[in-house]
């Protein structure tokens, strides 16, 4: 549904060049919720602004719903008719809602319909229908200042849906909201995704957002996508930073001559018999350092961190046994364990600078 290839964006200002996007190949399938996560300055907003051609890429192509947007002329306010038309099929939701304070809620939702030249009655019908969809039918005549943050974002979402988009882009839509309101907005996005078959590309710096609603995710660093895939694929990728952050399991090794192993299992597969079989087969004592079950991307996932006596070299065979049982096995070295514990507890690597948690 959305494909970018070799997408590059270089900003030039006062003789300085900043490469915000450095060859991004993104592929968002129809009907999925796709999250892009990364630190401040990683290029997330640049990516989303290039996807709807608010920003013209320096090079590379953007295809949305089969239309190569980069081939259409114009940019920003001076977009050609074709580009404007294609863009009206892409809804956009912003962090700070961007509502017009002098207009009522209904008039804010009608704005894009006015621009599309739709008649007054039809506009009004559509706006009320959309407000109903986002649960705000009783606020049509209110002004933005009379709404809570969550309600404002619902208006922003209703407005984004006015042109019957197939794709919704969201840049930090929940960053200005408290956790509970965040959950309700994410649920709304999920419902719209399912009811309308809407493809959603959302940008966030919060791992919880990815965990709650995304089918797929990508991690951006310095203008590049360094990891991507469906949540299931990521969880099945040994050493995946996204997977470890999505589903952290903590627990420190009890000594140097120990091997720490993280096991990941999906839904039905229980690890317990495997652990006791391992213990019996190789006559070793196994300590469980940490374990958790969670729902990630709508699927039940379990993780367990265990400790085997002896160094890695002495545990090659038992580790092979675990892999043979179909479990995903990640062997952590000591530094790695410390790094992951840090990710799990304070999530310092993925937290946006300057944003109070
Ligand atoms: N209009 C611009 N002119 C010059 N440089 C820019 C412009 N917009 C962004 N940049 C630079 O491009 C890089 C990527 O910025 P971008 O806004 O895409 O990051 P981001 O991942 O969205 O960050 P944040 O999480 O803080 O929103 C940064 O170094 C930024 O300073
Ligand atoms: Mg941004």
- 53 within some domain: yes
Question: Total domain count for the chain?
Answer: 2
Spatial contact of 58 and 116, defined as CB atoms under 8 Å apart: no
| Ramachandran angles phi, psi of 217, nearest 5° | -150, 155
Nearest ligand for residue 58 CA = 1
Q: What confidence tens digit (pLDDT) does each residue in 261-320 have?
A: 988 887 666 666 888 899 999 999 999 998 887 777 667 778 889 999 998 889 999 999
**Ligand 1 neighbour 205 (Cβ under 6 A):** yes
Taking the CA of residue 43 as reference, the ligand 1 atom at the shortest distance is 18
Half-sphere exposure (Cβ direction) of 98: Cα atoms closer than 13 Å: 14
Taking the CA of residue 12 as reference, the ligand 1 atom at the shortest distance is 4
Q: Which two tokens stand for residue 90?
A: 């892409």
- Give the burial string for 301-326 (b: 16+ CB within 10 Å, else e): bbbbbbbbbeeeeebeebbebbeebe
Probe ligand 1: pick from 7, 41, 170, max atoms within 8 Å of CB? 41
Domain that holds residue 92: 2-235
Residues 334 and 230 in one domain: no
Instruction: Of 23, 350, 9, 24, give the one whose Cα is nearest residue 201.
Output: 24
d(CA 87, CA 67): 10
Q: What confidence tens digit (pLDDT) does each residue in 58-115 have?
A: 999 999 999 999 998 777 677 788 888 888 889 999 988 999 999 999 999 999 999 8
Mean pLDDT of 328-347: 55
SS3 content of the chain, % helix, strand, coil (to 5): 40, 30, 35
Residues 14 and 125 in one domain: yes
Residues 180 and 252 in one domain: no
Residues 157 and 267 in one domain: no
Residues 212 and 289 in one domain: no
pTM listed for this prediction: 0.82
**Ligand 1 neighbour 13 (Cβ under 6 A):** yes
- Give the burial string for 174-190 (b: 16+ CB within 10 Å, else e): bbbbeeebbbebbebbb
What is the SS3 assignment for 237?
coil
43: CA distance to ligand 2 center in Å?
7
Say which CATH number the domain at 178 has.
Answer: 3.40.50.300
Spatial contact of 217 and 35, defined as CB atoms under 8 Å apart: yes
d(CA 150, CA 294): 27
């Amino acid at each position: 549904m959305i494909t970018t290839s070799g997408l590059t964006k270089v900003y030039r200002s006062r003789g300085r060049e900043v490469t915000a996007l450095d060859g991004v190949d993104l592929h968002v399938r129809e009907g999925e919720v796709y999250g892009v996560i990364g630190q401040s300055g990683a290029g997330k907003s640049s990516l989303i602004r290039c996807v709807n051609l608010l920003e013209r890429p320096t090079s590379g192509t953007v295809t949305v719903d089969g239309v190569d947007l980069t081939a259409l002329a114009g940019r920003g306010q001076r977009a050609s008719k074709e580009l404007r038309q294609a863009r009206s099929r892409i809804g956009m939701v912003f962090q700070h809602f961007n509502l017009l304070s002098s207009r009522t809620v209904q008039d804010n939702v009608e704005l894009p319909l006015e621009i599309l030249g739709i008649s007054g009655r039809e506009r009004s019908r559509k706006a009320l229908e959309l407000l109903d969809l986002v649960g705000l039918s009783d606020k049509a005549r209110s002004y933005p200042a009379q709404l809570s943050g969550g309600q404002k974002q619902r208006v922003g979402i209703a407005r984004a849906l006015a042109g019957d988009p197939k794709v919704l882009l969201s840049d930090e839509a929940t960053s200005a909201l408290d956790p509970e309101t965040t959950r309700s907005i994410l649920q709304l996005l999920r419902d719209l995704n399912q009811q309308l078959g809407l493809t959603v590309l959302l940008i966030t710096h919060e791992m919880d957002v990815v965990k709650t609603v995304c089918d797929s995710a990508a991690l951006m660093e310095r203008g590049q996508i360094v990891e991507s895939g469906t949540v299931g694929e990521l969880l099945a990728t040994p050493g995946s930073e996204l997977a470890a952050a999505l589903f952290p399991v903590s627990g420190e090794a009890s000594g140097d001559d120990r091997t720490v192993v993280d096991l990941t299992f999906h839904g039905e597969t229980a690890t317990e018999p495997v652990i006791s079989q391992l213990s019996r087969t190789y006559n070793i004592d196994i300590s469980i350092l940490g374990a958790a079950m969670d729902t990630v991307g709508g699927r039940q996932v379990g993780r367990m961190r265990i400790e085997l006596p002896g160094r890695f070299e002495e545990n090659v065979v038992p580790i092979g046994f675990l892999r043979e049982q179909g479990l995903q096995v990640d062997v952590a070295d000591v530094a790695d364990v410390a790094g992951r514990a840090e990710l799990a507890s304070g999530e310092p690597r993925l937290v946006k600078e300057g944003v109070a948690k």
